[in-house]
Amino acid sequence: MNKVLGYIFSPLFYIAFFSFLLIFHPIQWICYRVFGYKAHKKSVDILNFFLTYSDLLMGASVSFRNDHELPLGRPIIFIANHQSMYDIPALIWFLRKYHAKFISKIELTKGIPSISYNLKYGGGANIDRKDSKQAISEIIKLGRRMKENNWSTMIFPEGTRSKTGQLKPFQVGGIATLLKIVPQALVVPVAIENSWKLVQYGTYPLSFGERLRWTVLTPIEPAGRPVEEVVAEAETAIRMQLRQVIADS
């Protein structure tokens, strides 16, 4: 039934989703060019509110849980599993007060309304996966911006999306580089649940009626600890959360 209803409602979802991207592209341009970073970020936040709740058109439920008092005056490295492109709007919206920036493929900085513009001018790192020197340089620059502005960063250490929801081993590299530049950063795991189900049949149809969840887990103090240990702890926390969801379902 999820697939059958997906054939009906996916066109409505895509019309809404891409309409928001088109509408907010010139809004972003004006905000950034005329009013600067704060106005641009506000426009991006509002865009991602609409993108996040476009999921309701697919009969999805959207839930974000954060039971932790995270600091606003300290950089944070958010570490999350990655299941689909629909993970990202919710992370931008729900974590908006932490100024979370993303490490993205440089190919995404061209040709996508709103998204490409934000990646180019929003303060994140756009890396060339075929050029390790460029990638490291971009991450170092991001770390410096985090340090100067008390911004945060969202990292998907699996390296690629999981199409089945099964957690892949976490990679340490990007996190290690950031912690060298921003050793005072707090590490915070975030578990993403069920967004892979939304695209389990591919781009069309999307699956109808999925329960989409984002859960902030216990923060980890990295000071004085090997990066490998910190990343392993974050991976374990996310893995346990995903297992608990399966057990409760």
246: which 2 tokens? Answer: 């399966």
pLDDT digits (tens, 9 = 90+) for 48-75: 999 999 999 999 999 999 999 999 999 9
Residue boundaries of the structural domains of the chain: 2-248
Overall average pLDDT of the 146-174 stretch: 92
- 243 band by pLDDT with thresholds 50, 70 and 90: confident
Residue written as tokens 């410096």? 144
pLDDT for 67 equals: 96
Contact 60, 207 (CB under 8 A): no
b (16+ CB within 10 A) / e for 187-201: bbbbbbbbbbbbbbe
What would the mean pLDDT of 72-89 be, rounded to a whole number?
Answer: 96
Q: What is the pLDDT of residues 14-37, one digit of tens each?
A: 999 999 999 999 999 999 999 999
- Residue 129 token pair: 């996966």
So what's the architecture of 2-248 in CATH?
A: 3-Layer(aba) Sandwich (3.40)
Q: Which residues pair with 62 in a beta bridge?
A: 212
Residue written as token pair 């057990």: 247
| Residues 88-133: tens digit of each pLDDT | 999 999 999 999 999 999 999 999 999 999 999 999 999 998 899 9
Q: Which residues contact 149 (CB under 8 A, 6 or more apart)?
A: 99, 123
Which helix (H) or strand (E) is 214 found in, with range? strand 211-216
pLDDT at 245 over 90: no
Average pLDDT value for the chain:
95
- Tokens 């967004």 found at: 195
Determine the straight-line distance between the first and last CA of the chain, rounded to whole angstroms: 18
* Choice between 166 and 15, residue whose per-residue pLDDT is larger: 15
CA distance 220 to 9: 41
Query: Average of pLDDT values for 221-239?
Result: 96
Return the structure tokens found at 181.
């530049």
pTM of the model: 0.94
pLDDT > 90 in the chain, percent: 92
Section 4-10 average pLDDT: 97
Predicted pLDDT of residue 249: 54
In this prediction, residue 244 carries a pLDDT of 73
Q: Are 121 and 68 in contact (CB under 8 A)?
A: no
Tokens at 14, concatenated? 């895509």
Range of weakest confidence among 179-193, 208-222, 231-245: 231-245
The residues, any chain, with a CB within 8 Å of residue 152's CB and separated by 6 or more, are: 75, 76, 77, 78, 95, 98, 99, 100, 101, 146, 185
Identify the sign of the CA torsion 152, 158, 161, 166. Answer: negative
Whether 192 has a pLDDT exceeding 80, the answer reads yes
